């Protein structure tokens, strides 16, 4: 795997510090769900259903708040936009250990909506700090840092909750989140380039047509989809073009597959009596995603997000047929290799489809799509598992991924065909003249 693109990205001033801060800032974010679960079941002596409802309230808050938190960064700048988030995080998590269950549901939903938009800020800053030709590599590096955070965060959350108490763990989560917000305000990574620059250039594939089916699936260098970015609307909002909506649908479809796979792995190992191997299988799956993200970031040409989702769905659907934990470990590797790449490709496509002045809000919508897919994937797989068997969880979410991907690829084909028609007519007119 060529490492030169990563050296180039990390040689950009400020990128190493922002990347390291992104890993550290996401650790409490990845730990909060397990900490809340332990607090509800052990600290408040309620069931797992109540814990799931609490985590769902946090998730819904994040999905609702992410776009307008990103818009605040676009309009107000990073420091002014983050100050309310830091204050809300400090207030909510500082009070959380002493709140009753009902008030805790309200508080975490509020924290989700007004909390620190760390995922949006990281991708927005990287899209500005690195040249467009290196954007795929930068986003791949960011996806890998997310995997690292998810490997570390839940384990540290469980350790804090069990070695001390769930109340202490909540205070630690809140305190580290506040420190991360303050660190972001101090570093203040750029979210807007000093001078406007073209966001997307028309590719050769768009002007000359796809020479083959493979060419239609491969995107130009530095471009997620060969669709020119539109200017923001009269009120400075993200232009919700068909291309952007298609990428958001693919984003949600990807996390439906990922969240459903998570639940299905647990159900499969529980049915076979190998529940103790869950950590090993999850670690193998996460490492495959990390490796796939690194390889994808080093590619010279990107792949359309819908094409990556199609492959992810096809490789996920049969995973449940694996007999035993060892075979399950091997079966999740091919699909795992595509997890980080599909998220990277969708982030890159969105960054290229919208003008810079509204990119923060667009990245917020990307975060909402990721969250919405996660919220749908787990219960969808769970319903299939309850009605049929654990293998059905993989099959259903894989099938959903394939369906969304096929619709996305069809939309790309229609857009390209519509552009070729006027170009062909113009060519015929010039020849006749």
Tell me the helices (H) and strands (E) count for the chain, helix number first. 17, 0
Q: What is the pLDDT of residue 106?
A: 93
- The model's pLDDT over 266-284, given as tens digits with 9 standing for 90+, comes to 788 878 887 777 778 888 8
CB 93 within 8 A of CB 317: no
How many other CB atoms sit within 10 Å of the CB of residue 50? 17
Quote the pTM value. 0.75
- The model's pLDDT over 364-390, given as tens digits with 9 standing for 90+, comes to 888 888 888 888 887 888 888 888 888
Higher per-residue pLDDT: 420 or 402: 402
Percentage of the chain exceeding pLDDT 90: 20
Higher per-residue pLDDT: 234 or 286: 286
Q: What is the pLDDT of residue 421?
A: 54
Which 3-state string (H, E, C) describes 28-64? HHHHHHHHHHHHHHHHCCCCHHHHHHHHHHHHHHHHH
- Which of 250, 347, 255, 332 has its CA nearest to residue 296? 347
- Which of 284, 258, 272, 273 has its CA nearest to residue 374? 258
Give me the mean pLDDT over the 80-107 stretch. 91
CATH number of 4-187: 1.20.1250.20
| Angle at 412 (CA atoms; ends 409, 417), nearest 5 degrees | 125
Q: What's the whole-number average pLDDT of the chain? A: 81
User: How many angstroms separate the CA atoms of 305 and 251, rounded?
Assistant: 8
Give me the mean pLDDT over the 27-37 stretch. 84
Residue 200 has pLDDT above 50, yes or no: no
Q: What is the pLDDT of residue 131?
A: 85
Fold equal for 4-187 and 204-432? yes
Q: Backbone dihedral region of 188: left (phi > 0), alpha (psi from -120 to 50 degrees) or beta?
A: left
Integer angstrom CA distances of residue 403 from 124, 253, 276: 30, 9, 34
- The model's pLDDT over 390-401, given as tens digits with 9 standing for 90+, comes to 888 899 999 999
Q: What is the pLDDT of residue 9?
A: 87
Residue ranges per domain, the chain? 4-187, 204-432
> What is the fold of 204-432?
Growth Hormone; Chain: A; (1.20.1250)
């Amino acid at each position: 795997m060529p490492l030169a693109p990563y050296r180039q990205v990390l040689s950009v001033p400020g990128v190493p510090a922002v990347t390291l801060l992104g890993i550290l800032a996401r650790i409490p974010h990845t730990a909060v769900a397990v900490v809340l679960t332990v607090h509800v079941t052990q600290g408040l002596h309620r069931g797992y259903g109540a814990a799931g409802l609490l985590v769902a309230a946090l998730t819904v808050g994040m999905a609702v708040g992410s776009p307008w938190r990103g818009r605040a960064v676009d309009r107000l700048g990073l420091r002014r936009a983050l100050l309310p988030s830091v204050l809300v995080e400090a207030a909510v998590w500082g009070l959380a250990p002493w709140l009753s269950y009902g008030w805790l549901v309200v508080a975490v939903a509020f924290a989700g909506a007004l909390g620190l938009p760390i995922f949006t800020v990281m991708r927005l800053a990287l899209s500005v700090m690195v040249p467009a030709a290196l954007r795929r590599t930068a986003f791949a590096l960011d996806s890998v840092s997310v995997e690292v955070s998810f490997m570390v965060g839940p384990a540290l959350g469980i350790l804090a909750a069990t070695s001390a108490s769930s109340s202490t763990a909540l205070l630690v989560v809140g305190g580290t989140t506040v420190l991360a917000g303050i660190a972001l305000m101090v570093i203040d990574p750029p979210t807007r380039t000093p001078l406007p620059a073209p966001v997307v250039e028309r590719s050769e594939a768009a002007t000359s047509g796809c020479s083959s089916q493979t060419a239609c699936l491969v995107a130009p260098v530095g471009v997620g989809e060969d669709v020119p970015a539109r200017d923001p609307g009269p009120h400075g909002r993200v232009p919700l073009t068909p291309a952007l909506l298609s990428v958001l649908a693919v984003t949600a479809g990807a996390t439906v597959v990922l969240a459903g796979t998570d639940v299905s792995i647990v159900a499969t190992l529980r049915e076979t009596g190998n529940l103790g191997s869950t950590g090993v299988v999850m670690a193998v799956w996460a490492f495959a995603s990390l490796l796939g993200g690194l390889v994808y970031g080093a590619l010279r040409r990107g792949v359309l997000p819908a094409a990556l989702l199609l492959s992810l769905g096809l490789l996920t659907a049969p995973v449940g047929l694996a007999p035993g934990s060892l075979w399950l470990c091997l079966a999740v590797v091919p699909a795992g290799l595509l997890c980080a790449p599909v998220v990277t490709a969708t982030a890159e496509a969105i960054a290229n489809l919208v003008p810079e002045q509204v990119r923060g809000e667009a990245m917020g919508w990307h975060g909402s799509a990721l969250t919405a897919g996660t919220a749908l994937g787990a219960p969808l797989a769970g319903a299939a598992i309850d009605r049929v068997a654990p293998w059905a969880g993989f099959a259903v979410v894989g099938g959903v991924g394939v369906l969304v991907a096929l619709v996305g690829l069809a939309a790309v084909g229609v857009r390209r065909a519509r552009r070729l028609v006027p170009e062909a007519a113009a060519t015929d007119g010039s020849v006749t003249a």
